[in-house]
Each structure stands twice: as C-alpha cells, then as structure tokens.
A and B are shown apart, each in its own frame.
Chain A
Amino acid sequence: MADTEPTVDFGFEKVAAADKAGRVRAVFESVAGKYDVMNDLMSLGAHRLWKRFTLSLTGLRPGQHALDVAGGTGDLAAGLLRQVGKTGRVVLSDVNPAMLDIGRDRLLDAGYVGNVECIVADAENLPFEDNSFDCVTIGFGLRNVTDKLKALQSMHRVLKVGGQLLVLEFSTPRAPGLKPIYDAYSFKVLPFLGELVAKDRDSYRYLAESIRMHPDQESLLAMLKQAGFIQARYHNLTGGIVAVHRGYKY
C-alpha cells in the first residue's frame, strides 16, 4: 500500500479505501448462507423487533416507492412491500450478489412478485434518478460502507422531497453497566458462534470489530445533518446496542 493512499477501517484493521468493498464482499459471501440463522442466534431474536420498530417509522402508504439499501436477505424489504401494497414498488439493493440472491428468493417464496426489484448497487453511487423514493432504509449495512457520508448523500439524492431515510445500525451502548457485558459477548461469544454455526470465526470477529469502529449516535447524527437531512434524530434500542437514525429531505 502506498503511503499516500487513503485508508479506512476494516474492523480494527486499516486497509486501503479501494480494498474495503472487496473485503466486505468476501465476508458477506462467506456468511450469506447462514446469515439469517446467525442473526437470530446472535441477537436472540431481537433483530426482528429492531426491524419491526424501524418499519413502524416509515410512514409509507399504499402506492408509494421505497428503497432498501444493503438489504441483504430482504427482511426490511418484505416489511416495506407489505406497507406499499401491490400498487407500490420496492427496490432491494445490495452490493453483494450472493446476499441479494438469497433476498430475492425469500421475497419470491413469500409471494412478492411484480412490484419488487433486486438490484446489485453500491450505496455510495446509487443507480437511481434523483427524487425517486418516498423512503430509503439501510439496515445493518452502513458500517460496511467505505465512505459513509457519500452513501448518505447518495441516499439523500434519490429521496423525494418529504421522503425519509431510516438507518438501523449497531451503535454505542448507553445503558449503565451494559458495555462490559456487551464487549464480552461480542468478542468472545460471537466469534465462537460464528465458528460453530457458520464455520467462519474471522467474519464474525470482523462483525464485532466493525461495530466498535462505527460512529457513535451523535457522530452519525452529525453526518446525517451534513448530508442534508432535516429533522434528523436517533432512537436507541436495547440500551443503545442498536440505534435508528432518521432524517427527512426537504
């Protein structure tokens, strides 16, 4: 790596900015098959409640358009499809084709056909026209993006005026006494579960590390404001282990 080349975090490691996307892709290709099982196992099912809460904030109505960025296996997209109904449209996008394949299959199996599109897309350069969507969501994806501000600006661009961005992401625990327990769980139990279930200890160690390197609530809120979002705010869930950041485009 040349000295002048910009570096970014890949977990606790510093890597060349140009390399991060490829390494993240490799992680998710490795875990794609067991992704949903691991989510349930690691969060003890809490990820379903976090996603349900996020979906309760969309304010979407039948006939509207929504985009799920880094949507992976399509949990949020399925909820968005229920909200926009048959007359609406949902785009599920992910930079990783392996994850997207699973998401598309799950949506098809759930009977969502016709008003859903699955598109391989980079969050930093979303391939959609300006002012296209009433709501954009990104669930547990932003921390894997190389340039988070650029991704937020890209999501701001594709939102319609009056549209809302919802970012569901791991954050910094705020509940007293939670942090040491959470740290122990993240660095001891998660890699062990990864090894046991997905046969991939390193990917789950990356997960724990990438969560620690992700901006805390206030920093991400400042990024949302910098990207142009109005009425930006955040809601802590499960003592701040997870936070929902949201903002509007006006």
Chain B
Amino acid sequence: MPETPSWLASAEAVLNRNIAASSEAKALARRLENTSLQVNVDGFTRVRAECLGGRLGLLAADESPADAVISGSPPALMQMFKAAVPSAQSRSSVQIRGDAEIANLYRELFAAARPDLEEELSRWVGDLPARHLSQLALSVRTWARRARRTAGENIAEYLQEEGRDLVNKTEMEEFLRGVDGIREGVDRVEARLKGLEQRAASSPRAKGT
C-alpha cells in the first residue's frame, strides 16, 4: 500500500471529530458501514474513503476496487463536496462511476462533517486569537474582492476613457444602434431592388412583345 500523506491523516482526524459531533453525520457514517469510495483528483492524487465502525478512514488509494468512484478537478470536487445540494454545474464537471447512491451518501457525509475553520483554528491558538484571525481573514477576503472589482473598473475606465483602446458602453450602444439602422436601411434597399427587379421582369418591354 502506498504511503498515506500526513495532510490526509489530519483531514481524517478533523472529519471524524465532526462526525462524532453531528448526529446527521453519525447516521450517514453508519449507513455507509463497510463501503468505500475512491476519489480521483485529476493530476493530483487518488484517495480512498472507507467507513468502518462509524468512523471515516482516508487512505492513499491502492488497486483494490471501490464501491463508487468520483473523478474531477480539485475545484469541481471541492464545489461538489462542500455543497449541501450540488449544483447542476458541479455535477456535470465530475464523473461518477459505480454505485451512485453510495457516492451521493459520501458526498452528504463530507458536507455534514465539513470543518468550521474558526473552530479548528481555535484548537491550535485558542478561542480569542482564532476569532481575531478569522475576522482578519474575512476582512482580507472582503477587501480582496472589493480591490479586484475596483481594479477591474479602473482598468476598464482607463482603456475606454484615457487610452481609447476600448469603447465605452454608451458609445458601443450608439455604434450598435447605428449598425442596426444601416442593416435596416440595407434591408429596405434590398427589398426595394427586389421589387423593382420583379416589376421590370413582368413589364411588356422586358418580355420583348
């Protein structure tokens, strides 16, 4: 059997702690007794999850068959496992083979046992520093989102107004209206020409009589 990475052991310990603390997760672990799921994280690793004795085991996957196999990219799998109800988009970007019900129950188990980052942090640094750190992380995330949005707006404004490399929305709409006007004009001229052609074709002179 290949080595099971230490981070997987830590993840297993956290998930099992949360399973023990949640009646919903405990019931799911009991339903999944003696079953296994293989998770193939594209280009990264393969993990085997097993439920035994009401406890979840995460091991490096070997060649032994699993009841269900889920494959996908890390973001797609993350999205799928953390959501209580997976979105159609996350479902379409992962592949499920084998017993789909077992795969879905494992997904529910992972979602039910999902760790609270502040709670986990508090185990290492204490409650108060963990609260401060999580608030700091939240502020940083909010700031980063705002900064990204503002930077995008500023760059767009520069390219449109200062550099004139891009057109702004009003000019674009005006241009598109103009294009529509020309298209309608051309359509009218085309219809007119067709009408004239038909009239010319049906006139007695054109028939040569």
Contacts and interface: CB of A to CB of B under 8 A. Distances in A.
Interface string A160-184: 0110000000000010000000000
Given A53-B6, A57-B13, A236-B6, A162 B53 contact: yes
| Chain A contact residues: helix, strand, loop or mixed | strand
Nearest to B16: A59
Nearest to A240: B3
A56 interface: yes
Contacts of B88: none
Contacts of B10: 53, 56
Given A162-B55, A231-B52, A217 B3 contact: yes
Given A231-B59, A235-B3, A59 B13 contact: yes
B3 A231 contact: no
B4 A235 contact: yes
B57 interface: yes
A248 B59 CA distance: 13
Q: Which of A233, A236, A237, A250 has the most CB of B within 10 A?
A: A233
Interface residues of B, number: 20
A230 interface: yes
A120 B6 CA distance: 32
B52 A248 contact: yes
Interface string A48-61: 00000100110101
Interface in A146-170: 161-162
A126 interface: no
A59 B59 CA distance: 16
A88 to B, nearest CB: 15
Q: Which of A53, A59, A234, A235 has the most CB of B within 10 A?
A: A235
B110 to A, nearest CB: 18
A221 interface: yes
A248 B53 contact: yes
Given A233-B60, A235-B9, A236-B3, A59 B52 contact: no
A45 B7 CA distance: 21
Interface string B9-34: 11001001100100000000000000
A250 B64 CA distance: 20
B17 A57 contact: no
Nearest to B20: A61
Contacts of B9: 53, 56-57, 235, 244
B50 interface: yes
B1 interface: yes
B5 interface: yes
Contacts, number: 48
Interface in A200-250: 217, 221, 230-237, 244, 248, 250
Contact of B3 (A61, A162, A234, A248): A234
A14 to B, nearest CB: 31
Contacts of B57: 231, 248
Contacts of A161: 53
A250 B52 contact: yes
A53 B124 CA distance: 12
Nearest to A163: B53
Contacts of B20: 61
Nearest to B12: A57
Contacts of B54: 162
Contacts of B13: 56-57, 59
Contacts of A174: 3
B186 to A, nearest CB: 70
Interface of A: 53, 56-57, 59, 61, 161-162, 174, 217, 221, 230-237, 244, 248, 250
29 contacts: A53-B9, A53-B10, A56-B9, A56-B10, A56-B13, A57-B13, A59-B13, A59-B16, A59-B17, A61-B20, A161-B53, A162-B53, A174-B3, A221-B1, A230-B52, A231-B50, A231-B52, A233-B4, A233-B60, A234-B3, A234-B4, A235-B5, A235-B6, A236-B3, A236-B6, A244-B9, A248-B52, A248-B55, A248-B57
Q: Which 9 A-B pairs have the closest CB atoms?
A: A162-B53, A233-B4, A235-B6, A231-B57, A235-B9, A233-B59, A236-B3, A57-B13, A56-B13
